[in-house]
Amino acid sequence: MISLLRGKLIHKNKNQVILDVNGVGYHVFISKKTSEKLTEINSEYTVITHLDVKENSLQLFGFIDEKEKEIYKLLISVSGIGTKIAHGILTHLSFEEIISLISNSPSSAHIKIPGIGSKKLELISLTLRDKIYKIDKDIDQYEDMAVSSADSTRYEAMNALMNLGYLRGEAEKIIREVLKQNESIKLTTEEIIRKSLEYISK
């Protein structure tokens, strides 16, 4: 599973980019917010990803933070809302606008998305209204783990621990402790992982 990419931006149009990761070009469909952040060709960026696997295709969808990815996963869990529609929503609406839409707040009345009718938007709201509050609460526990150029190493280390079987909350707690013990040192991803494993084995 590809959960994160860190590489050089070599191509971009409104909703898609190609990231060069160690010589391999990854084509990624991106959200509105991600597009606003990835602005400079040949600069290095980190993108949180979701790999959509179908019988005849593999597609990567990229997000600037965990909130967006969790919203995307919620959207595709709705009956009749596939990856194309979910991506369409994220390319036209901000995270806050999507929350407003799902919560059916008065401010969502003006929301229009090309190719997505009011019945589908109503279905999304009805299906996810009770779920969105739990997701928002869960995300708040590790919001400061959102990826930027400054803390991408920490996020990559957290993903490495999760790949070893640790829950997200456990991995975050371990990394926080490691960084606290080494706050005067700028650790690389590999050093964070190594020190985390040493901390676990104590």
Q: What is the pLDDT of residues 16-62, one digit of tens each?
A: 999 999 999 999 999 888 998 899 999 999 999 999 888 788 899 99
Q: What is the pTM of this model?
A: 0.61
Q: Where are the alpha helices (DSSP H) in the chain?
A: 32-37, 66-76, 83-92, 95-103, 118-140, 152-163, 168-181, 189-201
Reply yes or no on whether the pLDDT at 145 is more than 80.
Answer: no
Domain ranges of the chain: 4-65, 66-140, 150-201
Most confident of the ranges 44-53, 135-144, 150-159, 161-170: 44-53
CATH second-level architecture of 150-201?
Orthogonal Bundle (1.10)
Q: Cβ(10)–Cβ(18) under 8 Å?
A: yes
Domain 4-65 fold: OB fold (Dihydrolipoamide Acetyltransferase, E2P) (2.40.50)
Assign domain 66-140 one CATH number from 1.10.3720.10, 1.10.150.20, 3.40.50.720, 3.40.190.100.
Answer: 1.10.150.20
